[in-house]
Amino acid sequence: MENYDVIVIGAGLAGLQTARLLAERGFRILLVDRKSALDQSIHTTGVFVRRTLEDFDLPSDCLGPPVRQVRLYSPGRRSMDLVSPLDEFRVGRMGLLYRRFLSHAMRAGVEWLPATRYVEHVELRDEMIVRLDGQAFSRWVRTRYIIGADGANSRVASDLGLEVNREWIVGVEEVLAGVPLNGPPRFHCFLDPRLAPGYLAWLVHDGEEVHLGVGGYPARFDPLKALREFRASVSGIVDLREAQLIERRGGRIPVGGVLQHIANDRGLLVGDAAGAVSPLTAGGLDPCMRLSTFAARVVGDYLETGDPRALTAYSGELFRARFVSRLWMRRIIAKVRTPVLVELGCALLRMPLLNSFAWQVFFGRGSFPDMDLCPAPQPVVLAG
C-alpha cells in the first residue's frame, strides 16, 4: 500500500494550486480527479479580476485580452456604463490553464491519478486509509492528511465531519467563437429577476470569445430555458448569427460565504468545497487562489510540526468576519423578486453616490477579504 503525506481530491484550480505548493515544500502528494482530462466538463466562466492578475503570475497565453468596460442593464434594458483606466478582467482559457497548472504540479513532484473517484476513508491513530475507485480498479492508499477540493457538493467535507454548503445558485453558459466585436471588449451584466433570479445574466466579449450565461436560485427558474431566452434577447447587442458553439458549461456556485468549520486534524477544504466564493458577486477564482495558497502553508506547517494549533488560523469563522456586509447584501438580493424593484435599484445606481458603489463592486479589490495571516502570494506558473 502506497503512502502519501497528502491526498488532494479534486483537480480544479484550488486543488491544483494546493497540490503544487505542498509538493514544492517536499511533501509526497497524490492528486485525484473524477475526470480523465481536465479540459472536460469545465464549470466556471473563468473571469479573472485585476486583483488576481496583479497578485498571481498567471500565464498570459492562457488568458484572453483585457477588458476595462462594464455595461450594466436594468430589466427594461436601460444601460449604464462603467469604465476603468486599468485592465480589470481577463477571461481564462480554462482548459489550457488547467493543463498548464497540472504540468507544473507534476514537475514539482505531484502524482496524478485521473478518472478516479474518492469513495471513503478509514481513520487510524496517526494516518488514514483512503479508497479510490477507477473504471477498472479499486485502490487503497495511506495518507496523513486529506484536502477536499471536490466542489460545492463536497463528499470529502461530509466524510471528514466538516461543514457543507447549503446555499447556492446554478449557472449555465455557452462559450462562442466567430462573433464580431463592435467597440472595445466589454463585460455586459443584466439584472433581471425573470431570467436570473438572485443573480444576473452575463455576456463577456473580449474580442476572441463570447461567454453568454445566466445564473440564479435553482428553485426559481429553468436555467436552460432562461439561457435560450437570454441568447435570443441580445441580438441587438452582439451579432450571433455566425456564432460557433465551443462548449456549454454549468454547475453549482455556493453563495453562502466561506463555511465556518473547514478544517480539522484529518483534513481541510479549499475552493468551492469551502464556500470560497464572494457572496455578493459569486466570483470564485480570486478566493480560490488566495485560500488554497493559504491552505498549503497551513497544512505544510501542521505536517512539519505535528501541532494542531497550526490549523487554527484556517478558520472559516475568522474569514467570514471580514465580509459580513457582503453576506447581508446576498440576503437582500435573494429576496428581490420583482423587476420593478430591480429597475428602481438600477435607476438609483445612476446617481453619483451609488454610481461610485457600483464602480467599486465591479472594479474594487474587495471581491474576497485580504487575509493578514496569509503569506504574500507566490507565483503560480511560468508561461511555457
DSSP of 269-286: E-GGGGT-S-TTT---HH
Q: Whole-angstrom Cα distance, residue 76 to residue 27?
A: 55
Q: Is the pLDDT of residue 380 over 60?
A: no
Q: Whole-angstrom Cα distance, residue 93 to residue 97?
A: 6
- Three-state DSSP class for residue 22: helix
Task: Confirm if 99 and 80 have CB atoms less than 8 A apart.
Answer: no
Q: Is the pLDDT of residue 325 over 80?
A: no
- Domain 3-363: CATH superfamily, name plus number: FAD/NAD(P)-binding domain (3.50.50.60)
Alpha helices in 36-184 (DSSP H): 50-55, 94-107, 155-159
Q: Whole-angstrom Cα distance, residue 119 to residue 136?
A: 14
The mean pLDDT of 13-19, rounded to a whole number, is 97
Residue 20: phi, psi to the nearest 5?
Answer: -65, -45
Task: Confirm if 202 and 190 have CB atoms less than 8 A apart.
Answer: yes
The mean pLDDT of 66-89, rounded to a whole number, is 95
The mean pLDDT of 218-229, rounded to a whole number, is 96
Q: Whole-angstrom Cα distance, residue 368 to residue 287?
A: 6
Q: Residue 368 contacts by C-beta under 8 Å, 6 or more apart in sequence?
A: 276, 278, 283, 286, 287, 290, 291, 323
Q: Residue 94 contacts by C-beta under 8 Å, 6 or more apart in sequence?
A: 39, 42, 44, 46
Give the torsion sign (CA, 229, 230, 235, 241).
negative
Position with higher pLDDT, 284 vs 360: 284
Grid coordinates standing for 142? 495511506
Residue 365: pLDDT band with limits 50, 70, 90: low
Pairing relationship of beta strands 244-254 and 168-177 according to DSSP bridges = antiparallel
Domain residue ranges of the chain, discontinuous segments joined by +:
3-363
The mean pLDDT of 86-111, rounded to a whole number, is 96
Residue 125: pLDDT band with limits 50, 70, 90: confident
- Three-state DSSP class for residue 45: coil
Q: Which stretch of DSSP H or E encloses residue 172?
A: strand 168-177
Q: Whole-angstrom Cα distance, residue 192 to residue 181?
A: 24
Residue 265: pLDDT band with limits 50, 70, 90: very high
